Amino acid sequence: MTENLILLAVFTAVLLATFSIFTVVAQRRDVERNIESSNKSKRARANDALLATGNEKLRYYLDVVANQGPNSVRMRLVRAGYYDKSAVLRFNLIRFVSVAVVFTVMQVGLPQVLPTLSRNLTLILSLCLAGIAFIGCSFVLEKMGNKRLREYRKIFPDLLDLLLVCVDSGLSIDAAFDRVTREFLNTVPDFGMQLSIVNLEIRAGRPMHEALYNLSDRIAVEEARNLAILFRQSEELGSSVSKTLRTFANEMRQLRIIKAEEKANTLPVRMLFPMAFFMFPVSLIIVLVPIMISLISLLQQMAPG
């Protein structure tokens, strides 16, 4: 009887512990689900605000594109992905701080490292290095802009695939572009910003091919211009947009494979110089050192006395 009571108590305790664990896990899943749904709703509201004409970032971007030159600081900051009005102030502040730090370090460090340098030469070297730091900030900004343009070229085939999926599912090309724009705003906000401009142009009544022409001018992607030409030909000839997208998407995939093969074929040539400068001397040392040791020991044994 006592054994049965013990077994029943153990069974009840295990059952209660299991029920408690499952309850805690279920509550945690509910909390995570609620948080995820809240984040999705926030992102959706942010996307709606971005697609609205009153968005400050979008307004600032269009103002810079319309009024600034291609080599201006504002345009380079926008090209690098900084759509804030205060970006110019922050960039100038970073340049000033960089120049001040380099100049101060050189003024303090050069007399410690090279005591024989005169004060005038130290000042000249500090000014030269500070000027290099000033130019280097602009160089880094330019590299960031070029990197973002390369990312746009890599992302563009994914845009075509998503557009093709949406069009095949029954959406019109305008609705498909709107849906894809909202998706890219969640995943790649900078590219989504460019697509939202295209979307606003389409809503304003501009034809699709003209909006894509403008997109190709902004992001410097030749494939966007080719797609605009295909859309224009499709509208003039009355052909299917879905077939046009499918054909162009296949061409883009083949082009991506060709570019990957080109990079793979250039790898042996690129690896030749690092191997020649780093691996070959080490291999030569490994081969020659034992021989040299043997020769030195042999010559020492043959020496008189």
Each domain of the chain, given as residue ranges in start order, spans 1-37+46-146, 151-255
Query: Rounded distance, CA 33 to CA 261, Å?
Result: 44
249, 157 Cβ separation under 8 angstroms: yes
Task: State the pLDDT at residue 170.
Answer: 82
What three-state secondary structure class fits 87?
helix
pTM to 2 decimal places:
0.59
The confidence band for 46, taking pLDDT boundaries of 50, 70 and 90, is very low
Residues 63-82 have pLDDT tens digits of 777 777 767 788 788 777 77
Query: Rounded distance, CA 218 to CA 213, Å?
Result: 9
What three-state secondary structure class fits 277?
helix
Structure tokens at 99: 């120049």
Per-residue pLDDT at 39 exceeds 60: no
**Which distant-in-sequence residues (6+ apart) come within 8 Å of 67 by Cβ?**
none
Domain 151-255, second-level architecture = Up-down Bundle (1.20)
What three-state secondary structure class fits 83?
coil
Structure tokens at 43: 């992102």
Structure tokens at 304: 């008189």
Query: Rounded distance, CA 181 to CA 196, Å?
Result: 6
Query: Rounded distance, CA 218 to CA 149, Å?
Result: 10
The confidence band for 49, taking pLDDT boundaries of 50, 70 and 90, is very low
Residue 60 CA: distances (Å) to CA of 55, 74, 84, 211: 9, 10, 8, 19
> Helices marked H in the chain — which ranges?
2-51, 56-67, 73-79, 87-113, 119-168, 173-187, 189-203, 208-219, 222-237, 241-274, 280-302
Residues 15-37 have pLDDT tens digits of 566 656 756 666 676 666 655 55
Structure tokens at 101: 């730090």
